[in-house]
Chains A and B, each alone.
Chain A
Amino acid sequence: MSDKATNSMLRTLLMRTQHSSRLWVALAALCVGTTLLLLSVMIWWNFSELLYGKNQNDSLGSTFLIIGKRVTQQNMGTPGATVFLLSEIDSLKSAPQVQDVGIITSNHFPVYAMMGGQLQLATDLPLESVQDKFIDKLPDDWKWQPGSRDLPIIVSSLFLNTYNYVFAPSQGLPQLSEASVKSIALNLKVGEGDKAEIFSAHVVGFSDRIGSVLAPQSFIDYGNKVHGKPGQASAPSQLILKAKDPSDIKFSDYLQRHDYETNTQNLRWSKIRAIVEVVASATGVLALLLMGISTLVFILFIELTIARAQHSLTLLLQLGYGPGYLSRYMIGRFLPMVLGTVAASAIITVAGQAILSIAAKSQHLELPSIPGWPVWAALFVSTAILVSLVTRSISSAIKKH
Chain B
Amino acid sequence: MHLSLQGVIPIPLREKVTANKSGMWNTTLSLTKGEYVFVQAPSGTGKTTLIHILYGLRTDYEGNVKWSDSALKATGKEELAMLRANNISVIFQDMRLFPELTAWENIDIKRRLTNTVSEQQAHEWLERLGLKEKANSIGSTLSYGEQQRVAIIRALVQPFDWLLMDEPFSHLDHANIDKARALIGEVVHLHGAGMLLADLDKNDFFPYTKTIYL
Contact = CB atoms under 8 A, between A and B. Distances in A.
Interface of A: 1, 3, 5-6, 9, 12-13, 312, 315-325, 399
Contact of A3 (B77, B86, B110, B112): B112
A321 B82 CA distance: 8
A256 B25 CA distance: 96
A320 B158 contact: yes
Contacts of A13: 98, 100-101
A5 B78 contact: no
Contact of B101 (A1, A12, A318): A12
Contact of A323 (B77, B85, B110, B154): B77
B93 to A, nearest CB: 13
Nearest to A312: B98
Contact of A318 (B78, B82, B96): B96
Given A12-B100, A13-B98, A318 B108 contact: no
Nearest to A317: B81
Most chain-A Cβ atoms within 10 A of its Cβ — which of B82, B100, B158? B100
Contacts of A323: 77-78, 81
B11 interface: no
A320 B113 contact: yes
Contacts of B100: 12-13, 312
A9 B81 contact: no
Nearest to B109: A9
A315 B78 CA distance: 15
Contacts of A1: 112-113, 115
Interface in B65-95: 77-78, 81-86
Q: Which 6 A-B pairs have the closest CB atoms?
A: A320-B85, A320-B84, A322-B81, A6-B112, A322-B78, A9-B109
A317 B85 CA distance: 10
Interface in B118-133: none
Interface residues of B, number: 23
24 contacts: A1-B112, A1-B115, A5-B112, A9-B101, A12-B100, A312-B100, A316-B109, A317-B77, A318-B55, A318-B96, A319-B84, A319-B85, A319-B154, A320-B82, A320-B86, A320-B113, A320-B158, A321-B113, A322-B77, A322-B81, A323-B78, A323-B81, A324-B78, A399-B77
A315 B98 contact: yes
Given A320-B110, A322-B82, 18 more contacts: A1-B112, A5-B108, A9-B108, A9-B109, A12-B100, A13-B100, A13-B101, A318-B55, A318-B84, A318-B96, A319-B84, A319-B109, A319-B110, A320-B84, A321-B81, A321-B113, A322-B77, A322-B81
Contacts of A322: 77-78, 81-82
A84 B181 CA distance: 110
B167 interface: no
Contacts of B55: 318
Nearest to B100: A12
B212 interface: no
Given A1-B112, A1-B113, A5-B108, A320 B98 contact: no
Nearest to B87: A320
Nearest to B79: A322
Interface in B34-79: 55, 57, 77-78
A174 B162 CA distance: 104
A8 to B, nearest CB: 9
A9 B78 CA distance: 21
A325 B86 CA distance: 16
A1 B112 CA distance: 6
A6 B77 contact: no
Nearest to B106: A9
A204 B61 CA distance: 93
Nearest to B90: A318
Nearest to A326: B81
Given A13-B98, A399-B77, A319 B113 contact: yes
Contacts of B57: 318
Contacts of B110: 319-320
Contacts of B81: 317, 320-323, 325
A316 B97 CA distance: 10
A320 B110 CA distance: 8
